[in-house]
Structure 1
Amino acid sequence: MKRNPTYLPVVAAAIGPDGEGRWLMHRRPAGKAHAGLWEFPGGKIEPGESPREALVREIAEECGLRLDPGAMRERGFAADHPDTRQDVRPILLLLLHCAVWDGEVRSLEGGEWRWCSLAEISQLPKPPLDARLAASFSG
């Protein structure tokens, strides 16, 4: 019998739409996994954190926006197939829609930030899990 993998829970934010119908995307900086690819911003859920708490912390650390956890809504999830990630813990990516935020985007931990239309997001090169979530994203 094949053993069940232990997934690494990661949370990501679909922040938007802004006043022009765009969504916030982040380009991974050099030296990081998936460098140069575009993603829904977020990060790992630390022990003792809820997904919403982790997302509030991650987004504040990465770009300075303040998110309202009460206004977040589950949008979808995607998971690695364990066989595709040799010697690496597979990831479970949880996407939350964040329609309420405060502040201006600043790059605090590297990488590029861009507000994109859904059509633009579909054309951006993305890591596999973000690509799957973006493909099912309809605004």
Structure 2
Amino acid sequence: MTISADDSGPVRIVTAVLRDGDRVLLCHRNAGRRWYPDVWDLPGGHVEEGEDPKGSLVRELREELGITASEPSSPPMHEIRTATFDMQI
């Protein structure tokens, strides 16, 4: 299975680790989702064409959680690269 809509390469994804002490916010993905349905996941989403990953993360957090976050000032804490997606955390 590929998650690249047009086979132009891996889908770019950004996520955030939102912490309060030892607690981490996870979002539950709908069971009807096409990819990775019914799982707990970090908030975030796809980087749109021509979009900066940091700006994309701010947009995704606003859309998903209704919060206004500042752009990250440091590089990603972890990156996961597979044949189908590149994820920055």
| TM-score, normalised by the number of residues in structure 1 | 0.53
**CA 1:39/1:70 → structure 2, altered by over 3 Å: closer, same or farther?**
closer
Which contiguous aligned blocks of 4+ residues in structure 1 show a shift greater than 6 angstroms? none
Q: Distance in 1 between matches of 2:22 and 2:74?
A: 18
Q: Per-residue CA shift, 1:94-118, capped at 9, x if unaligned? A: 11xxxxxxxxxxxxxxxxxxxxxxx
Superposed displacement of residue 50, structure 1: 0.8
Among candidates 77, 80, 85, match of residue 91 of structure 1: 85
Residue pairs, 1:21-60, within 5 angstroms: 21-32=22-33, 33-60=35-62
**Structure 2 unaligned runs (5+)?**
1-7
CA distance 1:72–1:22, shift in 2 (3 Å): farther
Which residue pairs with 1:121 in the alignment?
none
> 1:23 & 1:75 partners in 2: Cα distance?
15
Higher share in strand: 1
Aligned length: 81
- Counterpart amino acid of residue 8 in structure 1: V
TM-superposed deviation, 1:79: 1.9
TM-score scaled by structure 2? Answer: 0.79
Please give the alpha-carbon distance, in whole angstroms, between the structure 1 residues aligned to 2:73 and 2:27: 21
> 5+ residue gaps in structure 1?
83-89, 96-139
State the AA in 2 paired with 1:55. L
Whether contact under 8 Å (1:52, 1:72) holds in the other structure is no
With over 3 angstroms needed to count, the CA separation of the structure-2 counterparts of 1:65 and 1:73, relative to structure 1, is farther
1:22 CA displacement: 1.1
State the superposition RMSD in angstroms. 1.7
